[in-house]
């Protein structure tokens, strides 16, 4: 699944009507409803504030509202764009200011879908992947350089812990674990160790390969 990189807005003008799409990252239905309510408050004078949202790791929760537009012409096409893009934990509100020209059912479907698609393109998306959490252990003499090398590498650093030595938590795709071990041995001359301690959902740039030690 994917989620939006950030919240944001994008506006389309179609046959003199304004379609303003606002997107937000949300973690629950309460957050989604609060966002929708806030957009309606901000744009209380608009003709319609139509909405759609998708929640959950598999997009299990999906809701939409036409807010007075003909049934199925606004909320459903908005929701369909979110589903097609594989986006979750995201709420969309499209505010329409009517410009005096009727679009017809087909025109409304295209307009509301296009508004959400354009907004998604504007804010960008991130892929959510489940990666291994690998704890790297090193002494203080080597830890500073190692942390710097890790932050410059393709392996996301999730935390640094100080004690008798230094432990650095790193996210690694499971198929790339052997490649990471080889990278670590080369980077430290064999003076660091690592072990898998669990897994975590990590947001990464879309399109990277999660296997084989390549980019992810």
- pLDDT cut 90: percent of the chain above it: 83
Q: Compute the distance between CA of residue 203 and CA of residue 214 in angstroms, rounded to an integer.
A: 16
Please count the CA atoms within 13 angstroms of the CA of 141 that sit on its side-chain side: 3
Query: In terms of pLDDT, which residue wins out, 25 or 130?
Result: 25
Q: Compute the distance between CA of residue 57 and CA of residue 2 in angstroms, rounded to an integer.
A: 9
Q: Does the pLDDT at position 187 exceed 80?
A: yes
Query: In terms of pLDDT, which residue wins out, 142 or 80?
Result: 80
The residue to which tokens 């080597």 are assigned:
142
- CA 37 to chain centroid: 22
Q: What's the token pair of residue 87? A: 């986006």
Q: Is this model's pTM higher than 0.85 or not?
A: no
CB 195 within 8 A of CB 135: yes
Tens of pLDDT, residues 37-58: 999 999 999 999 999 999 998 8
Supply the DSSP symbol for 72: T
Q: What's the token pair of residue 164? A: 């008798």
Tell me the domains of the chain and their CATH numbers: 2-123 (3.30.230.30), 127-204 (3.30.70.240)
């Amino acid at each position: 699944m994917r989620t939006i990189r950030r919240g944001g807005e994008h506006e389309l003008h179609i046959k003199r009507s304004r379609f303003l799409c606002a997107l937000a990252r949300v973690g629950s239905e309460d957050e989604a409803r609060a966002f929708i309510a806030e957009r309606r408050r901000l744009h209380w004078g608009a003709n319609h504030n139509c909405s759609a949202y998708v929640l959950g790791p598999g997009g299990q929760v999906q809701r939409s509202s036409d807010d007075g537009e003909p049934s199925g012409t606004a909320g459903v096409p908005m929701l369909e764009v979110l589903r097609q893009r594989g986006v979750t934990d995201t709420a969309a509100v499209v505010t329409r200011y009517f410009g005096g020209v009727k679009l017809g059912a087909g025109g409304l479907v295209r307009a509301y879908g296009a508004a959400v698609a354009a907004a998604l393109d504007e804010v960008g998306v991130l892929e959510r992947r489940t990666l291994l959490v690998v704890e790297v252990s090193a002494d203080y003499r080597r830890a500073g350089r190692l942390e710097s090398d890790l932050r410059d590498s393709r392996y996301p650093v999730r935390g640094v812990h100080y004690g008798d030595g230094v432990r650095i938590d790193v996210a690694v795709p499971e198929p790339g674990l052997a490649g990471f071990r080889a990278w670590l041995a080369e980077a430290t001359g064999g003076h660091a160790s690592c072990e898998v301690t669990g897994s975590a959902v990590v947001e990464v740039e879309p399109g990277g390969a999660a296997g084989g030690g390549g980019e992810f």
